[in-house]
A and B are shown apart, each in its own frame.
Chain A
Amino acid sequence: MSNLNFFITTFICICLNYFLLSTNLWFFFPDVFLLNVLFLASTYTTYPKVYFFILNGFFIDIFFHEIVGPYTITYFIIGIFLTFSLVRWVQRSLLIQFALIAVISLLLNALIGALEGFAFVQNRAAMSTILLGIIWVLIFLYQRDKWLKNI
């Protein structure tokens, strides 16, 4: 994925997230930015550099939070993980993928909770994590055969 495309998809996600927040659907919806990264990780063979992950996270933070932090740190960790990893994301087992998604989602919600108050993300942390997991399981089941052929 080119860096420009990464920025464009992030901006689309920013718009979508704004819509979700303004309609209160944000609390019952999987995190769109993590979903975007999931699609990115499963669709493209090359990933942007860590710095672009950080920049994208920074852009998200400046639009939605008082200080730079939650998404910048989360994207930094995701970028580090994807770049430093010796195997591709899709090559990992479903259980590991699911565990990593859960860890990242909970970490992100914990960081948002630290900023906005934990009551704000109390239900959303679990809801978003479960929904992300379900979506990833569906993608995994649907794409697994195709990935195995290409690996």
Chain B
Amino acid sequence: MQVKKLSLRDKIETLIFSIILICSLSYLAYFSDLNKKSKRFLEMLFSFPSELINAALENVREFENKKIFELEDRIILLESDIYEKNLEILALENKRNFSINNITRFNNVQAYMSGFDQTNYTCCRKHRIYVSTDIDNMDTPRAVSQGSFIVGRTSSTIFNEVEVRLVSDPEEFISIKNSLGFFCIARGTAMAQEISCDNESKTSKYAVGDTFFTTGFDGIYPEGQIVGRLIKVTENDGPNFKQSLYIRLFFNPYNSMNKQLVIHE
């Protein structure tokens, strides 16, 4: 298999014609701006499939986003269900019925927690949440609860929202009792989910772990609502017997955004 041998004349001819061809092609390309046109043509040629691919990918992305949104909605619904079931379990654990209808003396209005002053809640002595409701006139303070769990009392209306002072706010007082017949007036400690009350009687019966309920004596909170659980008892210094009871509230504002609340009229 040998290559065809070219004569010197053929080689020179080929070289000369090749150089002429290169020069002519260069001139042609320069004269007709062929390079730019060809580049553009190539871009257009490939832009069509890439546009198709992009459109297909966009469709796939939209479909995925739609699915994600659907799943997220479902997750939110399930979380909400779980949250309410947990409340129900908690209420049952504390031997109360998770039903807003058991408070017959009050007209209950549904509301939703629409805002939470988180900064003041964590740092300062102002524990407030905001609820959205249909009630226009909110002149008198009303109790707010979440199922069987007490939340706080309404204080004022700001724009379309009602400001609710939580029980843990240091300005808030609430009359509570346990199942053993111990009564006291508790006050917010300005700590998250915590209230405290003092006891000066040695005969009083309570123990860490006791659940406390509202007495209804304050005229604002309906009787029998669950307040919290006794977590700590401290002995105060001084000549007289005095103990401070710290009660952990069941209502947690962090978990309650957009959750249903009840305003007791």
A residues adjacent to B (C-beta < 8 A) = 14-15, 18-19, 22, 45, 50-51, 54-55, 58, 61-69, 72-73, 76, 79-80, 83-88, 150-151
Q: How far is the CB of B140 from chain A (nearest CB, A)?
A: 71
CA distance A82 to B5 in the complex (A): 11
* Cβ contacts under 8 Å, A68 to chain B: 22, 25-26, 29-30, 35
Judge whether B26 and A64 touch: CB under 8 Å. Answer: no
How far, in angstroms, from A45 to B4 measured CA to CA in the complex? 11
Top 4 A-B residue pairs of the complex, sorted by shortest distance between their CB atoms: A62-B38, A68-B26, A58-B25, A68-B29
B18-52 Cβ-contact flags toward A at 8 Å (1 or 0): 10011001100110001110110010001000000
Q: Is B63 an interface residue (CB 8 A)?
A: no
* Least Cβ–Cβ distance between A22 and chain B, in angstroms: 7
A72 touches B3 (CB 8 A): no
CA distance A6 to B39 in the complex (A): 21
From 169 to 206 in chain B, residues with beta carbon under 8 angstroms from any chain A beta carbon are none
Are the C-beta atoms of A54 and B21 separated by less than 8 Å? Answer: yes
- Residues of A near B35 (CB, < 8 A) are 61-62, 65-68
Interface of B is mostly: helix
Q: Which residues of A contact B14 (CB under 8 A)?
A: 50, 80, 83-84
Residue in chain B with minimal CB distance to A65: B35
B interface residues, tally (CB under 8 Å): 23
* Chain B residues within an 8 Å CB radius of A73: 22
What residues of chain A lie closer than 8 Å to B42, measured between beta carbons? 14, 18, 63
Q: A86 contacts B30, CB within 8 Å?
A: no
B211 to chain A, nearest CB (A): 66
CB-CB < 8 A to A83: which residues of B?
6, 14
Q: In the complex, what distance in Å separates the CA atom of A45 from the CA atom of B5?
A: 14
Chain A contacts for B36, CB-based, 8 A: 66
- Name the distance in Å between A60's Cβ and chain B's nearest Cβ: 10
- Taking the closest CB of chain A, its distance from the CB of B134, in whole angstroms, is 59
C-alpha gap A18/B15 in the complex (Å): 31
**How far, in Å, is B58 (CB) from chain A's closest CB?**
19
Apart from A61-B35, A72-B26, A80-B15, list 4 A-B contacts with CB within 8 A. A54-B22, A58-B25, A66-B35, A76-B22
Query: Which residues of A have CB within 8 Å of B29?
Result: 58, 61-62, 67-68
Residues in chain A near residue B158, CB distance under 8 A: none
Asked whether B21 lies within 8 Å of A51 as measured between CB atoms, the reply is: yes
Alpha-carbon distance A79/B26, docked complex (angstroms) = 18
Binary per-residue interface labels of chain B (196-225) against chain A in the complex, 1 for a CB within 8 Å, 0 otherwise: 000000000000000000000000000000
Decide yes or no: A150 and B1 within 8 Å by CB, A61-B35, A63-B39 being known contacts. Answer: yes
Q: Is the CB–CB distance between B26 and A67 below 8 Å?
A: yes
Residues of A close to B17: CB separation below 8 A: 51
Does B3 contact A63, Cβ atoms closer than 8 Å?
Answer: no
User: Does B11 touch A at the CB level, under 8 Å?
Assistant: yes
CA of A14 to CA of B11, assembled, Å: 30
> What is the bound-complex CA distance between A72 and B35, given in angstroms?
13
Query: Smallest CB-CB separation from A45: which chain B residue?
Result: B1
Q: Which residues of A contact B46 (CB under 8 A)?
A: 15, 18-19, 22
Do the beta carbons of A88 and B25 come within 8 Å of each other? no
Distance between Cα atoms of A85 and B2 in the complex (Å) = 10
A79 neighbours in B (Cβ, 8 Å): 18
